[in-house]
Amino acid sequence: MKDHQTNYKDYEKAQEPKRPLLKNCIKAFLIGGLICVIGQVISTIYMYFFDFTEQTVGNPTVATLIFITMLLTGFGVYDRIAQFAGAGTAVPVTGFGNAVISAAIEHRTEGFVQGVGGNMFKLAGSVILFGVFSAFIIALIKTIFSYWSGA
Amino acid sequence: MVFLWSFIVGGLICVVGQLLLDVGKLTPGHTLSTLVVAGAILDGLGLYEPLIDFAGAGATVPITSFGNSLVHGALEEAEKHGLIGVVTGMFEVTSSGISAAIIFGMIGAIFFKAKG
């Protein structure tokens, strides 16, 4: 029995299509870089026309990008770009926005409370969980360390 | 010049994500979680802030900056209010990403219909 399973695993591995690694990386680099440049353009506009500094401009930039993501996701364009770009669209904050927004739209038919509310963070929840928890640990260590070395 | 660097740095962070997907064989959820934790650790070591100064949106747009700003908010608040600030200050800096996602997610669910 066990033998069959390992045999099948070997067979499965051999049959798995090779991922075109270099091509994927170049696509991710180009699209991911492009999204960051768009973000930089938005940042520059906010810094120039409104009262934002280089440190504070990240917040409105991210919000604007997620707004654009909503439009692209709603019209079904984002998925098409994502299929091409792989991590290039997943890693920028637009990927986080897309995960939340597409889940919200998809589960709309189940109602706003059970559907939209319950499923909105189905995909993005782990990002928030591990982000917050690791930040908690790191900040805790740093704070205790600074007390310890300061006092 | 900052446009070029934001393109290169942002693109490279995405390549790291692609490598985690393809070589590390991680799911997208695992990849993004790994990157967020990496961003938090980099800020803990004091390395992320110089990257933002250098690459602008190339460092603030990728999801790694989420981890960075969580740590940042927590540390800023901890300086003012002591240990409890680690909990209360967590979302101080990074509020916009999550609130924008929630607000536009709701608006999207109201106005758009699912396809397929």
Question: How high is the ipTM of this complex?
Answer: 0.91
| Chain A residues lying within 8 Å of B93, measured CB to CB | 59
Average pLDDT over every residue of A108-125 = 89
- Mean pLDDT over all residues of chain B? 90
**Is the per-residue pLDDT at A1 higher than 70?**
no
Average pLDDT over every residue of A64-73 = 94
Average pLDDT over every residue of B68-73 = 91
| Chain A residues lying within 8 Å of B101, measured CB to CB | 66, 96-97, 100-101, 124
**Is the per-residue pLDDT at A67 higher than 80?**
yes
Residue B85 forms part of a structural domain? yes
Average pLDDT over every residue of B35-46 = 94
Average pLDDT over every residue of B35-62 = 93
- What's the pLDDT at B115? 67
**Distance (Å) from the alpha carbon of A1 to chain B's nearest alpha carbon:** 27
Domain boundaries, chain A: 21-120, 125-151
Residue B88 forms part of a structural domain? yes
* Residue % of chain A over a pLDDT of 70: 98
Residue B116 forms part of a structural domain? no
Using pLDDT thresholds of 50, 70 and 90, give the confidence band for residue A58. confident
Q: DSSP secondary structure string, chain A?
A: -HHHHHHHHHHHHHHSPPP-HHHHHHHHHHHHHHHHHHHHHHHHHHHHHSS--TTTTHHHHHHHHHHHHHHHHHTTHHHHHHHHHTHHHHSBHHHHHHHHHHHHHHGGGG-IIIIIIHHTTTTTHHHHHHHHHHHHHHHHHHHHHHHHHH-
- What's the pLDDT at B74? 92
Residue B77 forms part of a structural domain? yes
**Is the per-residue pLDDT at B64 higher than 80?**
yes
Domain count of the fold of chain B: 1
Residue B44 forms part of a structural domain? yes
- What's the pLDDT at A7? 83
Average pLDDT over every residue of B92-100 = 85
**Residue B97's domain spans which residues?**
2-111
pTM for the whole structure = 0.88
Residue B94 forms part of a structural domain? yes
Residue B74 forms part of a structural domain? yes
Window 67-106 of A: residues touching B by CB (8 A cutoff) are 67, 69-70, 73-76, 86-88, 90-97, 100-101, 103-106
**Distance (Å) from the alpha carbon of A3 to chain B's nearest alpha carbon:** 24
Contact A40 B78 (CB under 8 A): no
Average pLDDT over every residue of A92-117 = 91
